[in-house]
Amino acid sequence: MTVEYQFPKDFWWGSAASATQMEGSKNGVSGETIWDHWFQTEPNRFFEGVGPDNTSDFYNRYKEDIKNMKTIGHNSFRLSISWARLIPGGEGDVNQEAVEFYGKVIDELLANDIEPFINLFHFDMPIEMQEKGGWENRSVIDAYVNYSKTAFNLFGDRVKTWFTFNEPIVPVEGGYLYDFHHPNVVDAKRAIQVAYNTMIAHAKVVEAYQKAYDGKIGIVLNLTPSYPRSQNPADLKAAHICDLFFNRSFLDPAVKGEYPEDLIKLLEEHGQLPETQDEDIELLKNNIVDLLGVNYYQPRRVKAKETLPNPYSPFMPDWFFDNYEMPGRKMNVYRGWEIYEQGIYDIMINLKDNYGNIDSFISENGMGVQDEGRFLKDGRIQDDYRIDFIKGHLKWLHKAAEEGCNVKGYHLWTFMDNWSWMNAYKNRYGFYSVDLKTGERTAKKSAFWFADVSNQNGFND
């Protein structure tokens, strides 16, 4: 049978998850993260008061979950190691229970012919490291590099694909600009320092890995194309500045080894440049990634400012653009996000044209839906909306591959319903539903559809 949308040979089909969102922080001996701390101090800020204590219990049920991954055609799976679990407190002695747990998970994945992709940091700073200043403090960078080297030494014989950070801009936005992550600071100067130091930490870990190991190391960025309302120069400028702040501030140093000149000029003009060290320039230049993970959920549409910013307000990226709600846009109403499948193609073409056509893959894409029990029929959630969502994005990803983009795979967020930060279990994303009372996993309709896609390495419309 001819497959209409055939993907390149050895394409990665799978899903992604993170330690905090699926393991359950109370399992095993483990240090506390900023999420444990914040939930203890302000539980009211989490949907229905649900914190990270138990989540989806992958810690105890990983064998069952990995067997299910195999059943639905996964050949790869991205997970993260919890720094606070592996080295409680962020520095010092290694937790042997964590070594045993992650070792067993890796072995189980390999036994099921699923390649483990390991990410080292997914928003989960050990609280002791945060109390030292988090990424504002260069000594925390050193502790992170030591943690990373520990992980490479423990698991590098079996794991050949690593990532330094997942969506490093999110802790910057959430923790230092817009108040949706701990430490809930609103201060752009500190935010920019955190962003900069994160990339220094990233480059140091890339350097350590590339010197001593033979696999690939990359970073996972949530790239959100900035579309102008119109071709008017004012709208184009707004979109360009938005792109500098939210995409290129991480993409350029990761892939090109340098920051965009116009971003540097803009920050300098407003007195917002971070503190740097002389050796940083060479460090960034010499330690670019082997592989780029791209998380894509929605576009960003912007227009020129309607009004001048309040001169007494805190400096913000939003001083330079307003968000624009395009009439007639398609929406995921549960998440308040626009669905724009072509964005995935536009990202890949940009990487091809402007970033050396770096090897890349879709490391997250997905659709969160509230109250999915409404779609339960004959014991299974009939999530046709998720199948349509994935299919729409895969068509554009296929077009990008056909046009010569180095697209290596597609991972859905996520394998099974998991805990989503402040939103907890409000929206469900998984191929498998999770009963929060019993922990029982049940495949949704999309799981079977995805198994067919993986088995055929493509699909028909």
Structure tokens at 45: 């800020």
Nearest of 254, 343, 251, 329 to residue 297 by alpha carbon: 343
The answer to whether the beta carbons of residues 344 and 400 sit under 8 Å apart is yes
The answer to whether the beta carbons of residues 221 and 294 sit under 8 Å apart is yes
Distance CA(156)–CA(135), nearest Å, equals 25
- Residue at 228: amino acid letter: P
Q: At 180, give phi and psi (nearest 5°).
A: -125, 10
Distance CA(351)–CA(251), nearest Å, equals 10
Residue corresponding to tokens 């995921």: 332
The answer to whether the beta carbons of residues 17 and 414 sit under 8 Å apart is yes
Active-site entry in 128, 167, 341, 364: 364
Nearest of 165, 168, 189 to residue 177 by alpha carbon: 189
Nearest of 131, 152, 1 to residue 457 by alpha carbon: 1
Q: Determine whether 364 is an active site residue.
A: yes
- Cα–Cα distances (Å) from 29 to 108, 120, 280, in that order, read 21, 19, 36
State which H helix or E strand residue 336 sits in. none
Tell whether the torsion through CA atoms of 451, 452, 454 and 458 is positive or negative: negative
- What residues act catalytically? 364
